[in-house]
Copies of this chain bind each other. A is one copy, B any other.
């Protein structure tokens, strides 16, 4: 990778930062955050403005350009990548290191007195605006919204905003009609005395209307907003996709409906003016509900006294708790996904010794097997296919420059997943196609112990996921080892592979309590820089647990693995497992054999079935 040459671009940006055509007053600094107007984690090419201006295209990073400087803040996952991709116009700000200034502190240290700092108010979340604005103001500067995105003014070949056809999901997939979701949402609004709800996150719009799209790679979402009143529904969306008869019928656009369920379709770009109109019509005590992560532009459209902000919206919380239809869909998706992986691993076991399989070939092969499965839509994220030292790069994605050939001498880590119409998958397996060393087996076994400790944990109803994180680390900690990422994230149902409001992490974040029906990943790991990476990841469903007692009648929860792919027993040092852990592995493999075996049989995939049976032989622990 050679760095992007940005001298000319920065010059142009600095010009528009002073141009009366775009800014009321010149801005001395311009902030280019990662996100889009919906605060999405994955963004469309037209929203990759930070990558355009800097060259750095990792998933997290904020660029700030002043008249003299250009600086990029990113986290530990991306220090190397950012350093490679940016030319020396840029200073890399390594977040998490002690001496790295915050964006605010840095701005204060470099700006001339009384500076204006510009940002696109649609891209910056309201909570970040608040913090940044306060810090700048207290140092005598001003954060100002710049209506026109300044990057867009210099990005001559900026791709168009995608506007792809929609997929409608029937009741067999969603379990609840959009109409019933609106009713439930309005009842939550009534509880809080709120008259309007603004849906800003793309996956929340998709979930609410039981629609899916493909505007953003890996995430089956489409660009839209919605504003739900007690008697009105407005969907802000562009393109002729609303002409599709299937969509019209799904949304009952041409039916005579009670007026409160009549959907008004409005252009995507009119959200701000429509919200301003809503705000203008409010009487005292009438409130508008928004996520506190909504953009500054939309938040600001509602006068403060009328705003009702929460960290998680009722849609986010309802979406996280999967109903029976969604859970069944997720089960089906995970069975299909396991079939594809059995095929892949069987194929790899034969092909790797020949020395012809690279990381990219393996990733492509995984996609090929997945795409053979029913209702396959696309991958759910860029496949992490990494062997040897590449496995230690936690968010690795093979590219020609780094592409390594799989061999019988190195550990191979595959973290991959897919979108099926009935569910989303995300699974990591770590394999050795030769003979692992005792040390590799030891590390793998600690990671496995952590994986089991979370998966088999029993905990009271209402427990927050972050309280389970240390269970995943305990076996590693005992030997002085650890891993520097969280243990699990929420997973959508044919939606984003990362979703709130639950998770399992040592980082304190305002996660919502776990409840039955939530779906998360369980993915501890161990990484040795320059040598190898190990991660074992299942998607797990929160289910009620039967316990001997029931303190304060709270009830208990535990997890059921939805992922049913063998965990390579060759990598396990069985003497490091307790009998309970050994039983867990054997029970898990028994279930893989039964459930996936039946499906492989049904699909006539006999060779993969033989592989599955061989891989699920019970472990025997010598006392």
Binding site for B on A (CB under 8 A): 138, 305, 457-460, 466-471, 473-474, 476-482, 506, 508, 545, 547-552, 554, 556, 578
Contact = CB atoms under 8 A, between A and B. Distances in A.
B478 A458 contact: yes
* Count of identical protomers in the assembly: 2
Contact of A470 (B467, B479, B545, B550): B467
B508 A477 contact: no
B459 A556 contact: no
A237 to B, nearest CB: 35
Contacts of A477: 457-460, 556
A470 B459 CA distance: 9
A576 B316 CA distance: 42
Contacts of A550: 480
12 contacts: A458-B480, A460-B480, A460-B482, A479-B547, A479-B548, A480-B547, A480-B549, A480-B550, A481-B551, A482-B551, A482-B552, A508-B508
> Which 9 residue pairs across A and B have the least CB separation, nearest first?
A480-B547, A480-B549, A479-B548, A481-B551, A480-B550, A467-B470, A482-B551, A459-B477, A508-B508
A378 B457 CA distance: 44
Q: Is the interface of A mostly helix, strand, loop or mixed?
A: mixed
Nearest to A529: B552
Given A480-B556, A508-B508, A550-B480, A471 B469 contact: no
A567 B301 CA distance: 63
A88 B552 CA distance: 29
Contact of A548 (B460, B467, B480, B552): B480
Given A467-B470, A467-B506, A471-B474, A551 B480 contact: yes
Contacts of A554: 482
Given A467-B469, A506-B467, A508-B508, A549 B474 contact: no
Given A457-B474, A480-B548, A482-B552, 7 more contacts: A460-B480, A470-B470, A476-B551, A477-B556, A480-B549, A480-B550, A482-B554
Contacts of A466: 508
Contact of A478 (B468, B469, B508, B547): B547
Contacts of A551: 476, 480-482
A480 B554 CA distance: 8
Contacts of A482: 460, 551-552, 554
Contacts of A508: 466, 508
A473 B547 CA distance: 14
A460 B469 CA distance: 14
Nearest to A484: B552
Contacts of A506: 467
A488 to B, nearest CB: 14
Nearest to A471: B470
Contacts of A547: 478-480
Contacts of A480: 458, 460, 545, 547-551, 556
A595 B471 CA distance: 34
Nearest to A468: B470
Nearest to A506: B467
Task: Specify which of A506, A508, A554 lies most central, judged by the most chain B CB atoms within 10 Å of its CB.
Answer: A508
Nearest to A508: B508
A549 B473 CA distance: 14
